[in-house]
Each structure stands twice: as structure tokens, then as C-alpha cells.
Structure 1
């Protein structure tokens, strides 16, 4: 659909106006009804004509056609962003702009697109301006995106102190104990508790992983006070706070809704909960617990100022909220795939038997050093993160005009494209991680692809981890840049998730512990794992997402 010139379009509008005038003249009382009925139609018509007739700025990337102003492509993108991105790439290439509830968002796809957005300078591409309206009400003031980038980088350095190898060694046994205690007491595993090897039980995998994730995280990172205080009141606070961490809150940060009020009340109470723990530790002389609170209480900014108590509290809330969703999602997808692919599940179980099994069918405790030498478990986790990265879109607010490299988007006939100030840019590792131009059978869950040292997966991981030894210090210690890799499950660049090693260890030990105890299957009649639910901030499996289990037989 297109117009060759403005003349036919002008005629259509003139005819529309003339007909409307005649209608009103015949019955003036109909003017209000006419306005109510035709105004939306006129708005849509004018929006279409603007896109098809008005000459567009040749310096701007191609723009996705949309029918309704302001709404733009929001519905199509929100329902299935990957399908939307792939279809747009077929038509416009790797760089294009779409309208998202009034925002202009320029998408840059592929490994080069990831590098353009996530490797961009913070003076031009701002994460703070893109996300603070969502994160600050939940996490709190003076941390993460509520502070200048250089301060946030210092705070990440403080957190890194608590993510030490020494602490990780202590965490492995804590993870195991929490999973064991949970399976021995929760009703979801009643069949396992009955020691019945013939009966099958069933559980909602996301519900189970959400509970196990918060238990293991609170036992380790959050500290013993938080773990001991996990009761119904804490769960209620968490749920109310979590209710403010949704796509609705991202798009509309200041709606007068009850969920927003509950979010704010929950944040206040949870902040007081943490500051009370910190105050008591200071009064008693805090011990060297292997948790994040202990690590943060000793940290100083470059100017010599200690982290204030409310900053520690808000960092702890941020760690709880951010880690809870991503880890429970990744664990859910992993168990679903293992339940679907019995051969991989049995290979994973056999690896546990070979490394930790006793003759009586029991298992020796896992250690941090041993965990790092389990190739099947490692491949299972990597492949799950490839197909199901927790976040499908990462955005930055554009603070100044930024030219798009010719290697990413071929220049227009009038020169290079430019992303203007006031736009947003978006990278999607979820696209590059299943790109058929890069991966063989990209939509097939195949952990074996990570076993080939010369394969695409190994090369992508090498680029992501930067095994060449080249590191960049953004202010929180030298890390792999990783922005040029098509595989970026924990983000890349200055905002790469600092907790990825903890998350990897947590996920691996939880999955291994469950597989040691039970066999998993999908429900009868279910031949595929659930589809993605893109209506949440973190990509979860759609319901139903049940897994059947039975106690393992020890022959």
C-alpha cells in the first residue's frame, strides 16, 4: 500500500471533510456523535498518510509501519518480540525503528547490533535514563540506576567483594542442604517423601523453582537473619514489591493503582527490615558471615565515605529481586527440557553418579572445585540459557545523536543513519542466540553442541568470556567485554550481570541435587515444553508447566 504523490491523498481528505460538513449541516445535533465516531478514524488515517506520504528524514533508520499512533507496534512486540524482530529484519534489515507506546525505539539485531548498543558509551546510551523509573521504586533510592553511572560501577565493585571464591565454596553445601530440606518437607514432593518408587507425583515447575531460588539465595547471599525470617509476612512483602516490577510499571511508572501503592509500602517495610539487621550487626560487632550484608558493611567509596545503611539495604533488595526472577526462570526451563529429553537427563544423572556416587546409591557432597569439572551439567545450563535468556530486550536511552556504523547498517543514499537524541536503542541477545544465520537447528535444545571445541557454540562462548585474556575495567574490576558475541545470557559490557557466577553455581547445584533424587517426565500427552510467556519482565514458561516425578531407583 503506497501513494505515488500527495495529490490523491489530499483529495481523499478533502472528500472526507466535505462529507462530514454535509452530515453536520443536515443535523447539527449529530456533531457530537460524529466527532466521537470519526475522530479516532481520522487520527488513524492521518497517521497512515504521515507514514506513506510525508517525506521521511533520510538520516533516520527505516521505520516499521503501524496503524495506530502512540500504540505503534506495542501489541505485536509485546505478544512475541522474537517473532516481531525476525519479521522486521526480513523487511528492513538488522536496524529499524518501531513505536512503543509513544517511544521511538531503534532496534539493532545480531552480534554487531549487540555490540553497538551494549558496547556504546554511557554518555550516549544511558541505562539509567531507560530504567530508573522502573527500578528505583522497587530497589530504592541512591543505588543501581538511581545514581550516576560511575557511582553504580563502584557499587558493583562492592558487591563483587561478596562474590568471592571463598564464599562460593561455602555456598555449595548450603544450596544442597536447602534443596534437600525443601524436598523433605514440601507437599509438592509428598511422593518422594513417602519413599515410593512406583508412584508419580506432579508439581508446577515455576512455583517450585521460585521457592527453591529464594530459599537458596537467602541462605547464602542474603544472610542468616533473612533466611530465618522467611515467613508469610516476608512473602507478602516480597509479592507486593514484585507486583511493581512488571511491563506495566516500565511503560507507565506513575499510575494511581493499588498495586503501585502496595509496592511503595512494601519497599518501605523491606528497607526497614534490612536496615534493622544492619543496625543490630553494628551494635553487636558484625561477624564475618559469608554473606553480602557482611561484605557491604565494610565498603568505602573512592572519596572515603562508607556505604550508608539504607544503601546497603537497597542493594540487598536489588539483589533479591533481580536474582530471584532470572534464576527461577532459568531453573524452570532447565527442568522442563530435562523432563522432555530423557536421554540428556540420564546422562546428567550418570555424571553425578560417576563423580559423587556411593555404592549404596547415596551421593557424596558436591564441592566448588568439582562443580567446575562437570561437562554435561555445564552444557545443559549453557544450552538452556541460549534458548531461554531471562531478558529478551535490553534498552538504552539515547542522550545524543549517534551514527550507526556502516558494518551494522548499509548507509542510505544520503549518508549514514543516525539514531537521534530522545530515541531508545534496543539489543536482543534472545535473537542472536537463536539466529539461523549463526546456529545450526537453533530452535532445538541440544546440549551436545557445546561439546565441539571448534563449533559455533564454543567460539561464541570464547568471545563472550574473552578467553584471550583481554579485559576491560568499567569501574568494578576487570571483566570480559563480551559485547561482540552472539551469546550473551547475562548481558555484556559495563552492565553485564555481576552475579552470573553465583547464578551459575546456584542453578547448577540445585538442578544436580534434584536430578540425583528424582526422575522427571512431562505430563502424559504433552510432547513439547511450554511456549514463552512474554507478558512478564522475565521470560517465563506459559501455563500449564507441570512436571511429573518419581523417586529414583537404586539398583
Structure 2
């Protein structure tokens, strides 16, 4: 009898718990799953993730959960959810990215969690606004060299042209002057492997490496390249002021904080972070400007007023010069608004309340800068390229427009954002100063597949350039 009573109590307790959990689940956001366990909505989501996000927002409202490939992703699209994403102490950046970083750079989670704060502080200081003056001259010098190699005239795919200019300039500044290969065969190898790694990064961050043979081969090639060159990078001395490059400063932190030899892995991560977004932003900015004749004309007039009308003299670009050409920075920021990352992510560590819904711990909280930047409530006429909207931003105080979230926000806002903007500004100034440029093709649409990082072009776009006389 006692056994029967105990059994009844246990059964009733289980039923009560199930009812309680079901009631709690009613407070969860609308959930999009699928009929295949673990895969969930993975197939539909993977076909065109940007379009999937917007269709789900229209159908389910400003917050919804997508279950795909064993992961719960809860998307927020309006102010309350955005504020929770950016400001809540119950969401965590490091826990959200530790698995993707392990997959893409082979950095173990325990080492990443141990070093991330220290490396972030170092990068924030090294790449912050008060340190930018150290890079202006270096970038100008490197970009001069790359533009000189273009010759007097030519026709090229704009994306390939930008890669040819920015790959070596960025590598030589951040890692070691002269480190980028100069031999044609080695240059082709670098381009081939970095492009394969970059294009497959999104899939490499989610799937086992054994399923991505081409991507895995390029990842290993890049790691081997760093393995071979780390000793040389470490001992390199600046000929001018004996200052450390960013990679050298990173190696110092690694050596001080851990016995693990992870220099090549962090070198790969720094390489990807410094090139993966700045290259497409430069492509799109040049493309947008050349597609808008009045904006192009105004920029050319500004460059001529600061540097003169001829294109032959070797010019130096200073911070004061950049301040006299605000339209170029406005164009870059407007480009980033229109081609922003598909998602940025945090991990929920404790239950959080958003719009009367409870998001459980373990969910990835997802924000889509691409779609936030297309909300007319925040950005009127959102599909139009309107750099003049950035007049309202107090850029001299390093403040962007409200709800501009391409660089993240809060504690772990992108530490390289100011250097990236500086590099792209100088590149555009020098390109337009030395060459008359025209697009030969319409500007392509962005790919609908890209979630990680700035949107890539869907197709080629040729540019004709002629040296100015």
C-alpha cells in the first residue's frame, strides 16, 4: 500500500512538473523548428538566412526562436530586445563565440576564455583613437606602394583590385613590414587560401572540419605559414621608432600568460579579423560612390582642394587632412550600414525577459545589424545610399548614429573599428587622387547567404582606371 501511495505521489509530481514546464514554455518566444530532430529548421534557414530572418520577423513578430542544427537561436529585432542584447549582464559574448573560434582557429576554449580579456585590453589600447597617428603614415606608405603596382591604366574586377591593394598593406602594417610575399606564385597562393578560408568561415564556424575539405586545407596552409614565420615576426625591429606591431604585442601577451604555443592560431584570427570586413567595405564604398556621380564629384572636389588637382605627386595623408574630407567617412559608414553583418551573437546565461517572453539560459541571443539598419524607424529611406544622414552623428566624439550596431556595442565593441575606418579612408583618397575611375558594370546585389561579417557581392563588377594627368 505504501509502495502504491509513493508511486502515485511520484506520478502526480511528474505530471505537475510537466504542466508547470508547459506553462512556462508558453511564455517563450514563438519557436520555428522542423520535423527532423536536431536539424530542425536548418535546411530552410541555410538556403537564404537573411531572407529567412526577415520573413520570420514579419510572421512571428519582433522576437522569435529558430531551432537549427542542435542550436536554439532567439532573434531580437526591436528596441527592447536590442537594449537587452547590448546592455544585459545576463548575456555573454565570450561564451557565444568560444566554439566558433575553436573551430576556425583551433584555439581551445579554456585558453580563449583565459586570454580574451587581456588581449582585448591590449588591442583596445594599441588600436584606439589616441594611437591611430602611429598607423597613418605606415598605411599611406604601404598603399602608395600597392597603387604604384597598378600601372597607368587598366580594367579589373573591383573586388580583386581591392584585395590586391589591401592584403599586402594590412599584413605589412599589422604583422611585420615586408612580410607579405612579393613572388607572384606565393602571392597567388596567399590569395587563394585566404579567400577560401574567408568564404568558408561561416560554415567552418559551425560544422566539423572533416566535412569542409577545401576550407580545412586552406586553414592548415595559413596556420603552417604562421608557424614558419612567427619567430621572424617576433624578432623584427621597426626601423623608425622600435615600436611593436600589433602581432608582436599579441605574442608578448601570449608568452606572458600561457605556455601554450598558440601564436599561429591567434595570428590566423588577427589576419581574418583585419581583412574579412575591410575588403568588402572598401569594395562597396568605391562601388556606391562611383554609382552616384554627384557624390563622386563632390569627393573629387574635396580631394583636389586638400591635395591639389594633379595625380602624380606622392602625397602624405594626415589626420587634419581627413577632417577636411568628412564625406568620405560618411560614405564608408553608410556603406557599412547597408552591408552590415547578418548577425552578431551573445549567449544567455540566466533567464531574461523580453516583451513578456522568457528567453531561457543556453539560447544564443541573435541581433541582425543588417535588418536593424533597414528599419525605417531608425533609418528613414533605409534602402537608399544617403551618406548625408551621417551629418547628425557626432563623429568627432567617436559617436555613431543611434541603432547603428555594425561594430557591436558595450564592453566588447570591435577594437579595430577605428583602424579599419582609417585604412579605408586613406585607400579611397589615394585611389581617387591618382586615378580617374569608372564602373563598367552595375553594382551587384549582396549575397543572401552571408551571416558572419560584412555582406559579400553576388557577382563581379569591373572597374576602369586611368592615371590622372
Bin of the TM-score, shorter chain as denominator length: 0.7 to 0.9
1:179 and 2:143 aligned = yes
SS of the counterpart of 1:60? coil
TM-score, with length taken from structure 2: 0.82
Aligned partner of 1:266 in structure 2 is 221
Between the aligned partners of 1:549 and 1:279, the Cα distance in structure 2 is 39
Aligned partner of 1:20 in structure 2 is none
Task: Decide whether the 8 Å contact of 2:155 with 2:464 is kept in 1.
Answer: yes
Between the aligned partners of 2:461 and 2:28, the Cα distance in structure 1 is 43
Q: Find the partner of 2:100 among 124, 134, 139.
A: 134
The alignment yields a C-alpha RMSD, in angstroms, of: 3.5
1:116 and 2:84 aligned = yes
Aligned partner of 1:295 in structure 2 is 249
Task: Decide whether the 8 Å contact of 2:104 with 2:201 is kept in 1.
Answer: no
Between the aligned partners of 1:341 and 1:246, the Cα distance in structure 2 is 32
Q: Find the partner of 1:208 among 156, 161, 177.
A: 161
CA drift of 1:230 comes to 7.3
SS of the counterpart of 1:255? helix
Task: Decide whether the 8 Å contact of 1:131 with 1:250 is kept in 2.
Answer: no
CA drift of 1:146 comes to 5.4
SS of the counterpart of 2:383? coil
SS of the counterpart of 1:533? coil
Aligned pairs for 1:49-448 within 5 A: 57-64=25-32, 66=34, 70-121=38-89, 124-141=90-107, 147=111, 149=113, 151-163=115-127, 168-186=132-150, 190=151, 192-193=152-153, 201-227=154-180, 232-233=185-186, 236=189, 239-240=192-193, 243-244=196-197, 245-259=200-214, 261-263=216-218, 265-278=220-233, 280-281=235-236, 288-289=242-243, 291-296=245-250, 299=253, 305=256, 310-357=261-308, 362=313, 364-389=315-340, 391-400=341-350, 402-405=351-354, 409=355, 411=356, 417-448=357-388
CA spacing shift, 1:103–1:359, aligned 2, 3 Å: closer
CA spacing shift, 1:229–1:295, aligned 2, 3 Å: farther
TM-score, with length taken from structure 1: 0.70
SS of the counterpart of 1:224? coil
CA drift of 1:360 comes to 8.1
Task: Decide whether the 8 Å contact of 2:223 with 2:265 is kept in 1.
Answer: no
SS of the counterpart of 2:32? coil
CA drift of 1:312 comes to 4.5
The runs of 5 or more residues in structure 2 that have no matched partner are 1-21
Aligned length: 444
CA drift of 1:71 comes to 4.2
SS of the counterpart of 2:249? helix
The 10-residue stretch of structure 1 (440-449 or 255-264) with the greater mean CA deviation from structure 2: 255-264
Task: Decide whether the 8 Å contact of 1:179 with 1:510 is kept in 2.
Answer: yes
CA spacing shift, 1:486–1:285, aligned 2, 3 Å: closer
SS of the counterpart of 2:437? strand
Task: Decide whether the 8 Å contact of 1:237 with 1:270 is kept in 2.
Answer: no
Aligned partner of 2:448 in structure 1 is 534
Task: Decide whether the 8 Å contact of 1:288 with 1:294 is kept in 2.
Answer: no
CA drift of 1:109 comes to 1.0
Per-residue Cα deviation, 1:119-143 (whole angstroms, up to 9, x for no partner)? 333xx4343443333323443436x
CA spacing shift, 1:515–1:93, aligned 2, 3 Å: same
CA spacing shift, 1:253–1:127, aligned 2, 3 Å: farther
SS of the counterpart of 1:442? coil
The runs of 5 or more residues in structure 1 that have no matched partner are 1-53, 194-200, 412-416, 468-481
SS of the counterpart of 1:510? helix
Between the aligned partners of 2:311 and 2:96, the Cα distance in structure 1 is 55
Q: Which one has the largest radius of gyration?
A: 1
Task: Decide whether the 8 Å contact of 1:356 with 1:363 is kept in 2.
Answer: no
CA spacing shift, 1:285–1:298, aligned 2, 3 Å: farther
Task: Decide whether the 8 Å contact of 1:139 with 1:267 is kept in 2.
Answer: no
CA spacing shift, 1:229–1:155, aligned 2, 3 Å: farther
Task: Decide whether the 8 Å contact of 2:103 with 2:206 is kept in 1.
Answer: no
CA spacing shift, 1:260–1:203, aligned 2, 3 Å: closer
SS of the counterpart of 2:72? strand
CA spacing shift, 1:531–1:307, aligned 2, 3 Å: same
